[in-house]
Amino acid sequence: MQLPFAESFKIKMVETIQKSTCQEREQWIKEAKYNLFNLKSEQVFVDLLTDSGTGAMSDKQWSELMLGDESYAGASSYYKMKKAINDILGFPYFLPTHQGRAAENVLFSVLVKEGMIVPGNSHFDTTKGHIEFRKAKAIDCTIDAAFDTNQRHDFKGNVDLEKLEKVLTSYPLEKIPMIIMTITNNSAGGQPVSMQNLREVHELSRKYGVRVVFDSARFAENAYFIKQREAGYADKSIKAIVKEMFSYADAMTMSSKKDAIVNMGGFIGFKDEDLFKQASVFGIIFEGFVTYGGMSGRDMNALAQGLDEGTEFDTLDSRIQQTAYLGNQLKKFGVPMQEPFGGHAIFVDVKRFLPHIPKEEFPAQTLAIELYLEAGVRAVEIGAILADRDPVTRENRYPDLELIRLAIPRRTYTNNHMEYVAVALGNVFERRNEIKRGVKILKEAPIMRHFTVELERL
């Protein structure tokens, strides 16, 4: 008999989580104005809001904390992180930042000016936020297959090279400061980008003289999928694949709260010293001196160790198999999802789950509320509320996909928790026709409204 899959770690420390009653959850979600970001963590049993900064550090990472050097300038922790970034990712210059969006803020302060165009594959919401905040425009060139959850495609995160070349030829090149490749493509459902696509985008970028920046939060998961799915990579190590991937980038931004498995942290990697120097000026204004940039020494140490662990096959295999486990359990209940399953999360296709709720009533948010009420499971809406309003017309933007995301923190929950979540969502699926109406917005912020929006049930 073939041995079953088992995680390549054991648990040394545990944290208690609390169950609640249906009546309690009714009260709490009402008090939270039907925005799951407003819930207290103790009001949640299984928290799949995000995999960002919610993972469990290893014993080696915790021990690195004790070795942190908190010197203001030139700390050994800075050099440890610098070495890890150069050795594992291949970027000789870097700036630490407190998280991923801070890396975007610093880099885009140099590169993005009013009226500019930034093409890429489904820019992440903070990335788009930082582009639009500077009165520039993000153009999504992702392949069409990404928007059809029924269609099987190994690399739904890919850029459509024709769409990209059209952007590169439609605008003056000095208006295009960079192409952003998001690996994995978070907004399309944690979908990977193939090595071939990264290579071809790089070739196109050389033809037009535009730099390529990787938004790299889940680069290691991307490498895992390349190993599993792309011809020629099965026998290569994750670290070798990662090195090749980044050979096609001029710079990178990183939210270390994802694949570097720390609770807080980020950085920018540069190949070009000149760009690094320009960005350093903004790094110092926004984040801190170049050798700590918003991070404490101990956190830089844990990050360096996390980069090493996060690019080991066994770490990734445990993680991605757990995501697939949740997906396969949900499949048994007939729950419609983005497939193939992504790395960090399962994305439920709400247009197929609640087809009778009109888009104006925010069906994905409606489902996230129902799942919370059912079992105290917190998911997040990736739909029209997140898509926000058009910055010019101020009309609601209705994206092609209305999704809820069940993001799985790294090394945190067991498969029993996944089973619990699957049954909870399966129960909601069974009673889906009893959900008659959605929600209405009462209050919203002018940008990135999903974090603070206040809602009412219809």
Ligand X SMILES: *Cc1c(COP(=O)(O)O)cnc(C)c1O
Residues that bind ligand X (CB under 6 A): 52, 99-101, 124, 126-127, 182, 186, 215, 217, 255, 257-258, 266
> Smallest gap, in angstroms, from Cβ of residue 53 to ligand X?
7
> Nearest 10 degrees: CA dihedral of 55, 56, 58, 64?
80
**Phi and psi (nearest 5°) for 249?**
-120, 145
Catalytic residue among 30, 59, 72, 144: 72
> Smallest gap, in angstroms, from Cβ of residue 159 to ligand X?
15
Catalytic residue among 45, 94, 108, 124: 124
DSSP state of 451: G
Tell me if residue 123 is catalytic: no
Number of other CB atoms surrounding residue 2 within 10 Å: 4
Tell me if residue 450 is catalytic: yes
Cα separations (Å) of 381 from 161, 218, 250, 347, 368?
29, 20, 33, 10, 7
Q: Would you say 442 and 33 are in contact if contact means Cβ atoms under 8 Å apart?
A: yes
> Smallest gap, in angstroms, from Cβ of residue 438 to ligand X?
27
Catalytic residue among 145, 217, 220, 279: 217
User: Which of 215/402 has CB closer to ligand X?
Assistant: 215
User: Which of 219/270 has CB closer to ligand X?
Assistant: 219
Tell me if residue 217 is catalytic: yes
Tell me if residue 37 is catalytic: no
DSSP state of 33: T
Which residue, judged by CB position, is nearest to ligand X in the bound state?
100
> Smallest gap, in angstroms, from Cβ of residue 215 to ligand X?
5
Tell me if residue 47 is catalytic: no
Catalytic residue among 123, 130, 257, 258: 258
User: Which of 369/404 has CB closer to ligand X?
Assistant: 404
Can you tell me the distance from the alpha carbon of 452 to that of 366, in angstroms, rounded to the nearest whole number? 16
Tell me if residue 69 is catalytic: no
> Smallest gap, in angstroms, from Cβ of residue 261 to ligand X?
13
Tell me if residue 388 is catalytic: no
What DSSP letter does each residue of 401-413 carry, written as one string? --EEEEE--TTTS
User: Which of 100/177 has CB closer to ligand X?
Assistant: 100
Q: Would you say 64 and 260 are in contact if contact means Cβ atoms under 8 Å apart?
A: no
Residue with the two structure tokens 């999704």? 403
* Residues acting as catalytic residues: 72, 124-125, 215, 217, 258, 450
